[in-house]
Chain A
Amino acid sequence: MSRTLDRGLTLHLPLLLYVVFTLLPFYSMLMLAFHAGGQVTATFHYLPIPFSLQHFRTLFDEDSFLPYLRNSIVVAVATVIVDIPIAVLTGYALSRFQFRGKTTFMLALLTTQFVPASMLIIPIFIVFKDLDLLDSLLGLVLINATFELPFAAILMRGFVSAIPFELEEASMVDGCTRFQGVLRVALPLLRPGVVAVAAFGFVGAWNNFLFALFLISDQNLYTVPVGLSYFLGEFNVDYAALAAGGVVAVVPVVCVFALIQRYLVGGLAGAVKG
């Protein structure tokens, strides 16, 4: 009896409270987004009754949110496509080769985790102006890819190290070149790692706000976070449409999160520790 009480007080109760704290913001947003009323008043509802999708219609028809969504998808997917081959190459080199400057490079990768992106917007803006990358989704992809890369590479190094080198050696003895060995033996085994790294990169690029805000001024190129931030800045906020926009911003990352959450504990910790 006292053991049950003890577990209840030290485990179940605090956990339950924290789960409620975590879910409340999601809950209040979903109720507002799917409830028929509430454009102006934004009254909180316990249940989405009467149910309606009209706020999403408002969002996409009147507030032209669709291009933002398209831009966000393009940027996030392209960031992943740019990052994956580079991360695989970097991770492979750091895991399999011994060479001069390796420790320095590892250290540089770790140091970037301490480099504040938000404080670098001024010089990055100037570099972008010189390279004619302002107001282009390509520029946004490159800067996101750069800032997601160190973490992706460190993570990938761990995944490569987990594959026994003997497998590649065996393929080379059987007549493969080293490149073929990597392509036919290591890469298929690396697939879960690639999925995890891709998912981390996607979440990072999808959520990025400051670069998109600062480096893009053409409204047709806004991403979801920037579009959402202009909603928030409006004097008469349409709270229900804001909630719908929030749902659009959160749903993709929550799906991706479900995919990678089992890598979080090992992956994130491993990358931070190096």
Chain B
Amino acid sequence: MPAVGRPALMAGSERAGGARRRRRRAWWVPYACLAPAAALLLIFVLYPVLSVFWYSLQSYNPTKPYLNAFVGLGNFQQILTQDPLFRQSLWISVKWVVCEVVLQFCLGMGLALILNSTFRLRGLARAVVFSPWAVSGVAVTAMWTLMYNPFGGMFDTILKSTGLARTPVQWLADTHLVFGAAVTAELWRGVPFFAILLLAALQAIPEELYEAARVDGASRVRAFVRITFPLLRDAIVLATLLRAVWEFNNVDVLYTMTDGGPANLTTTLPLYIANQAIQYHNFGYGSALTVVGFLILLCFAIVYLRLSRFGQEI
């Protein structure tokens, strides 16, 4: 019996030793694993990000090659001194981001608190409330355009049948209404993001803290201000920052719903850039606008993280 056992044991230890040797020798294995991901990110993210700085110094239009030239900081000079549409689109971007982030956060926070308590059909309620997260911007536009349709859309039908409005309301053509209409449609899609993130953060707070507060006679509002909010701070800062960047760059809904109109009242900076690129092929000028947008976002992110004391002890 031992004679049979020994070779097997030896073989086993030999193999284990071999594995150890292999592991020591194979320092390159993790790098090989990362190589495909790194290659894709280098070609399609890092190189474009870096090259946009180079193109921003050029006059570059693929349809007018005779005008292509190095112009130094000329594009930036034009942006900052002679481009009223840049200033207007930046202002609309700021308005758009503030409205979206504040409203999405407030509604998402409320929903997260509701969905964190126990009640019947909670799973179903969560699934329904989160569902707009999966809908594309173009589909959002399709749905809301149908509802905003001034001749027989859902809002029109309801307003007429209740007698609240006699003439059709031009939700997407009225200069006073278009911004709010677009904000509402995007809000519908954006709230689930906050609800999901904040719900995850809420679930990490131990129930004992609330029990202790209850024993001490604290009200629910007080418990929220003193326990929930401080413990959620990092999650809130990260979620609002991520969302602010995301909404700043969001073009799907605005491009398809209003195309920046009427009278450029919904033209945000990325939409302005997209139009420069798609309609006028001004790649150099569009790149310079992109660089300005990058720098604004970067400054915003740094200031925001500083002011919110992200990651510091409470």
A interface with B by C-beta (< 8 Å): 7, 10-12, 14-15, 18-19, 21-26, 28-29, 32, 38, 41-44, 85-87, 89-90, 92-94, 97, 99, 102, 105, 108, 112-127, 129, 142-143, 145-147, 149-150, 153, 172-173, 175, 177-178, 203, 206-210, 213-214, 225-226, 228-229, 231-233, 237, 239, 242-243, 245-246, 249-250, 253-254, 256-258, 261, 264-266, 268-270, 272-273
**A119 near B203: Cβ-Cβ < 8 Å:** no
Inter-subunit contact A93/B201 (CB<8 Å): no
Residues of B within 8 A of A146 (CB): 40-41, 43-45
Beyond A116-B293, A119-B270, A123-B287, list 10 extra A-B contacts (CB 8 Å): A97-B33, A99-B27, A118-B249, A123-B49, A150-B41, A214-B277, A246-B139, A250-B135, A250-B139, A265-B196
B312 within 8 A of A: no
Kindly list the 6 A-B residue pairs having the minimum CB-CB distance in the complex, ordered from nearest. Answer: A269-B200, A207-B136, A123-B48, A43-B152, A93-B33, A116-B249
Total interface residues on B, using CB and 8 Å? 99
Name the one of B140, B188, B200, B301 contacting A265, with C-beta atoms under 8 angstroms. Answer: B200
Contacts of B38 in A (CB 8 A): 105
- The answer for the CA separation of A177 and B49 in the assembled complex, in Å, is 41
Q: Are A41 and B151 in contact (CB under 8 A)?
A: yes
A233 CA to B250 CA, complexed, in Å: 19
- Residue pair A42, B37 in contact (C-beta under 8 Å): no
Measured CB to CB, the closest approach of chain A to B107, in angstroms, equals 7
Q: CB-CB < 8 A to B135: which residues of A?
A: 207, 250, 253
Instruction: Tell me how far the C-beta of A152 lies from the nearest C-beta in chain B, rounded to whole angstroms.
Output: 9
Q: Is the CB of B44 within 8 A of A90?
A: no
Cβ-defined partner of A209 (8 Å) among B33, B138, B200, B283: B138
Residue contact B136 to A119, C-beta cutoff 8 Å: no
Q: Does B90 contact A (CB under 8 A)?
A: no
Task: Tell whether, in the assembled complex, residue B48 and residue A173 are in contact, meaning their CB atoms are under 8 Å apart.
Answer: no
For the complex formed, measure the closest distance between the CB of B138 and the CB atoms of chain A, giving whole angstroms: 4
Q: Are the C-beta atoms of B248 and A116 separated by less than 8 Å?
A: yes
B55 partner residues in chain A, CB cutoff 8 A:
122-123, 126
> A32-B146, A249-B142 known; A116 and B114 CB under 8 Å?
no
CB of B153 within 8 A of CB of A86, answer no
A268 B138 Cβ-Cβ under 8 A: no
How near does chain B come to A63, taking the closest CB pair, in angstroms?
Answer: 14
Chain B residues with Cβ under 8 A from A233's Cβ? 256, 259
Q: How far is the CB of A150 from chain B (nearest CB, A)?
A: 8
Contacting pair B200 A86 (CB below 8 A): no
Nearest CB in chain A to that of B301: its residue: A114
Beta-carbon contact of A118 and B139 below 8 Å: no
Knowing A18-B129, A120-B290, A253-B135 are in contact, say whether A44-B153 is a contact too (CB < 8 A).
Answer: yes
